[in-house]
Structure 1
Amino acid sequence: MPEDFYCEEVLSGKTQVTKVMETENILAYYHTRPFWPTHIVAIPKKHISSLITLEESDNELLLELLGVIKKVSAKVKEEKGACRVITNLGEYQDSKHLHWHIVSGKPLREE
């Protein structure tokens, strides 16, 4: 996997994705290799390596990202009855680009 799958593959257009919601600064799409039956990823289009590297100047972008996550999560909850919103840090973060998973259902495979 590239260091930053989201910039190198998704945002560049090399990997095609099915969009769930998009704004000028945010993209939410169905995961290319889902781990749950419903597995959506939300990312900023600007490269930010992780939640803990956000700068003060990223506050508006973070609010926009959380707004998209809120809308997508509400729709998943309405359709599926429940969902989780997850972000990873450190070793758990495979791609070094801030991203959130909006998921529902039992895992499709073991980690």
Structure 2
Amino acid sequence: MSDCIFCKIANGEIPSEFLFEDENVVAFRDLNPQAPVHVLVVPKAHHENFVDNVPAETLASMEAAVRAVAEKCGIAETGFRCIMNTGTAAGQTVMHLHMHVLGGKPLGEGLIPA
């Protein structure tokens, strides 16, 4: 998708420091963090949301990215939250599948980024 900000980041058109990258996904820090650790895991291929026939290998890469990010950011042992919003009613504002990985502090109710 030519005008998708996450496609541009994931495919290197917009520079970003990746905390994880494989053939299917990238992970980078959110520009508007909601916690001390707030990383986005984004597929390189455009999928609108979680129920958009996402290939199993992409979902497996997302899982690997979460594991690697949690280790790298020091939240694997203390705990973290993973969030995928699906559709506007759920608060999804960028219509490209992405997962928020949040941690680094106690996460209370109501912390659900778009």
**Structure-1-length-normalised TM-score:** 0.76
Q: Extract structure 1 runs of 4+ deviating beyond 6 A.
A: none
Q: Is the 8 A contact 1:27 1:42 kept in 2?
A: yes
Question: Is 1:35 matched with 2:34?
Answer: yes
Question: 1:62: which partner in 2?
Answer: 59
Amino acid at match of 1:70: R
**Secondary structure at the counterpart of residue 53 of structure 1:** coil
Amino acid at match of 2:5: F
Q: CA deviation at 1:59?
A: 1.4
Q: Is the 8 A contact 1:20 1:29 kept in 2?
A: yes
Structure that is richer in helix per residue: 1
What CA deviation, in whole Å up to 9, does each residue of 1:15-35 have, x standing for no partner? Answer: 432211111221011112212
Q: CA deviation at 1:90?
A: 1.4
Question: 1:84: which partner in 2?
Answer: 81
Q: CA deviation at 1:74?
A: 4.2
What CA deviation, in whole Å up to 9, does each residue of 1:51-89 have, x standing for no partner? Answer: 01125xx1122112222222323444247x221111101
Question: 1:99: which partner in 2?
Answer: 98
Aligned residues with identical type, % of pairs = 25
Amino acid at match of 1:16: P
> Larger relative contact order (C-alpha < 8 A, sep ≥ 6)?
1
Amino acid at match of 2:37: T
Query: Hey, what's the Cα distance between the residues in 2 that align with 1:34 and 1:96?
Result: 19
Which residues of structure 1 form unaligned runs of 5+? none
Q: Is the 8 A contact 1:73 1:85 kept in 2?
A: no
**Secondary structure at the counterpart of residue 24 of structure 1:** coil
Query: Hey, what's the Cα distance between the residues in 1 that align with 2:11 and 2:65?
Result: 21
Q: Is the 8 A contact 1:51 1:89 kept in 2?
A: yes
